[in-house]
Each structure stands twice: as structure tokens, then as C-alpha cells.
Structure 1
Amino acid sequence: MHYLALSITCSVLVSVLLKLARRHDIDVRQAVAVNYAVAASLCVALLQPSLDTLQRPATPWAVLIALGLLLPSVFLAMAASVRHAGIVRSDAAQRLSLFIPLLAAFLFFGQPLTGKVGAGIAVAFAALACLIGRPQQGPQAGDEGRGRWAWPLAVWLGYGVIDVLFKQLSKAGTQFAGGLLAAFVLAGIVITVTLLALRVRWTWRNAGAGVLLGLANFGNILFYIRAHQQYADDPAVVFAAMNIGVITLGTLVGAFAFHEKLSARNWAGVGLAVSAVLVLIG
């Protein structure tokens, strides 16, 4: 169970680091670029991916390139969501994205829709509506008000599409560790080239923040894999504990450590998000 606890902690720690970035004047773009260099290095050292599958003619490079473009984009969207909407809404939106592959499965891949999955998706959409509901006009109107619902929505959609792409990668026979390494490398190249084109001035301070971000980001992935290996006969427990754990810990950290104000509707959204996961694995 300690692997699950570590994975949950690392996942929420990513959001905490993104929350602290603005307070400490960190360029998140540079931190995200360094994060992928760290994550790729750790992937090679700890997962020891085989690159043979990437050299096959059937390697889905279109999917890998799409991941290379989406990963840094969604990471930056997550940073903006944490800044504008807070850790609670952002983490919940990210975890609710798991229902997008389920939607894709029966909309595009011919999988029949069961009552349980349909109910889970319905509850997930209700949770999302509560979490990202448009704020009332007033002090939070304008760009700030839009950010409180638009960025979590972007996080939900972006991570959901990434999940679909990783599933397509596995269906093509690409080894998980090899595909993950390729995605990290491509994502790092995309954001680094973008920053060089923008002539961004690199600093060691931002790089240091990127190292911390990369350690937390990869730690989340590594410990999640280890948890699935530990509970190989009961993957539903890992799935449920991970998603509910992140939503719960993210709520506690956001509400009590960062004093994020949540309406009754937002609290209902958090509860519905947990319920959606329980319905899916129930």
C-alpha cells in the first residue's frame, strides 16, 4: 500500500509545485522543459525501456508525435488551472478525465455501453459541471472568472485525450516504457524548441524547479506502476485508491494549506467525483 501512498503524494505534489511557482516567480515553461529531461533520464535508469519496439515499421509515430505536442501543452494548462482555479478543482478535473477513454471506447471503437459505465460517466459529467461551473458576475468576472472554469475544462479534455493516445500506443504493441520514453523525449524537444524560438532567457533557478517537478512527475508514474505490480490480481483497488486518493488529498491540501475557497457546489463536485470512480469499479 506504500507504493499507492507515494504515487498519490507525488501526483498532488506536482500540483503544489505548480501552485508555488507563481509565488516564487518561476517560469513554468522552463520548469516543464527540464521536467521532461529529468523524467526521460529516470525512465531510462529505472524502467530500462527496450527501444526495439520503436524501430518496428508498425510503430505509431503519429500517436507519439501527438503525445509530444499534447504533453507539454496540457502540463502548462494544468499550471494555469492550478493558478486560476486552484488545486482542488484542477486535481479533480484531471482525475475525471479517466472517463474520456470510456466515452471513446463506445463512441469510436465499438465497445458496448454497459449500465455501470453509463452511470459512471453521467456522475462524472455532473461532478465536472459542479467543479467548473461559471462563477457569478462580480469581482471574479472577466479573464479571471473565465480561467476558473476554462482551464480545468482544458485539463479534463487534455488528459483524457492523452489517455486515449497511450491506449492506442499499447494496442499497437509498443512497450509501455519505450513509448513513455519516446513521449517524454518528444515533449521535451517540442517545448525546448519553442522556448528557444521565443528567445527565453534560461536560469538555473527555473531549472532547479524543473528538477523537482520532474522527480515528482516521474515518481507518480513509477510508484503507480509498482502499485499495479504489487496488486496484480486486483487492479481495480489500485485504480480506485489512486483516483479517490488524489481527489481527497488534493482537496485537503488546497482547502487547508492554500485556503482555497470552495462553494457548496464545488464540494458537491468533489463528492460526485469520488462517487463516479466508485460507480465505475463497483
Structure 2
Amino acid sequence: MTELTNKNPYPPPTALYSDLLHDPNLFTEKLQSFHDSFGTKLKIPTIGGKPLDLHHLFVEVTSRGGIEKVIIDRKWKEVVMSFKFRETITSASFMVRKYYLSLLYHFEQAYYLCKQVPPSTPDAMSENLANSSTTNREGAAINDSPVQVNPVQTLGSLVRGTVDGKFDGGYIVTVDLGSEQLKGVLYHVPSNASPSSYTEGTPISRKRKKSRLALSDPYRPKSNRNGYNFFFAENYARLKPSFYGQEGAINKKIGVMWRNLTDAERQVYQEKGKRDKERYRIEMLKYKSN
């Protein structure tokens, strides 16, 4: 998706941002359609042997104002920690950011910020989205320190680097990006590896893809909402008359309101989310039994 230019306008959104937050299945459908419209393949990557929940990632980032604001406010660590990755997955921060940029960045521009064309000249913050800084640990996770690197240039571009070490699953490498030196982990999949042995960055197996197709079943129980989903729906209906046609402004305002809630106020919505999660669990048990 990073090869988009202002010559390729975004397709008009066919769903409201609020609906995407509430319905993971609708989100997946629209994201797939968005990629299809540009002839790009949407493959769900894995991190730590588990498929990356792109819907959860999209909600976490946009509820904080979008990827650019997340980086400016140094909130990326909060986004990554919400996934509760194992501590042994030291490259999780880098991998999650990489997949957001390649799979969700332009989708965010169209469906969250309501832009009609890709940014033709990324501003200073956009140029830092794929950035990282080195640490003293080999393969350490990337932090939020800005580095002047353009994601449109780095993703898929050729870079120079050196191999500092080797292990069973890949290599420890140092890569030169402009004046910066980045240290990290480069994974590889053996040619004879089975789908179950794939490591970070590997597309899901055909079996999992088939399971995603089954989500179109009209009798399948409606997916559960989390606390933020309930909060968003409640305030979206209230704010829409005052911000008619300004979806981006509504989304940002609700995100700020959510962050300003006290723990007690936020707990009210989180409890609603827990009850809805239990509702979904019970309905799914009945659905599967039939």
C-alpha cells in the first residue's frame, strides 16, 4: 500500500468509522476491499506464532488520534502493550509498527481521517512513522524516538547492513538508514518449514483463511464490543448533529474524551464490555452446538 500516490485517489468509504470499531467482521471486509481496489494483497501476519489482530491494532491507534499523533505523543508503547506479547518477542514493537504502516496507514487516512487522496508530501511527522533507535541489546524492541526516515521510502526499499550474529530462526543485523544505524532481528522461514512452524511476519495458513471466510455467516452471533466501543457509540450519536459531515473531527474528539475519563468513569464502560464479551461467549457456544 505504500506505493500509493496522489494520482491514485482513495475509494470512497463504504462504512462509518464507528461501525468499523463495533464490528471486527465489517472491518476485515472493508479492509480487504480497500486493498483489492489497489490490487494489493491483504495477508494477516503473525507475531509470536499468533495472527496479529488488525482490528484491535486499528482501534488502539485511532482511539489515540491516529498513527501520527501516537508517535508525536509517544504513545506507541501503550499500543504495543495492549497486545500483551510475551517478553521474549523483543521485535514486537517494530513488527507491529511495520504492519500498521503497510496494511493500515492508508486505510486510516481514508476511513478515520476521511481523506480523499494519499498525502502527496508527507509532513515531518509522517516521515518519522517507520523510525526506530538502537539499544544496547541485540534484537531489542524499537522505541518511539523519532528518526528522519520516510516510511514510503523505507518499506520495500533496498538498504545496506551487516550480519552481527546468527541463530536458529534468523540473524542479528545492523542496518544503515541515512545517518542512522538500526540494530534488530531478521527472521527467516526454512524452505521445508510447515505452516505451524512459521515465525513473525508469516501469512496465516489456508486453514485460517477459510475460517475468516466463514465470518460472513448471517446466523453467526454479533461480535462483542469493548468498553471503548460502547463509549464511542454513546457519544457519536450525541456529537454527530454538531459535527455533521466531519467524521474525522468527531473521532478525534471522542478519543480525547476517552483519555480524559477518570478510572471510575472508564470502568463503567469496561464493565459493559465484559458483559458483552460474556454474551458473545454464550451465544457462540450455542451457535457452534447447532
Asked if Structure 1 and Structure 2 have the same fold, meaning a TM-score greater than 0.5 normalized by the shorter chain, the answer is no
Shorter-normalised TM range: under 0.3
Max Rg structure: 2
Q: Which has the higher strand share?
A: 2
TM-score by length of 2: 0.26
Give TM-score, length-normalised by structure 1: 0.26
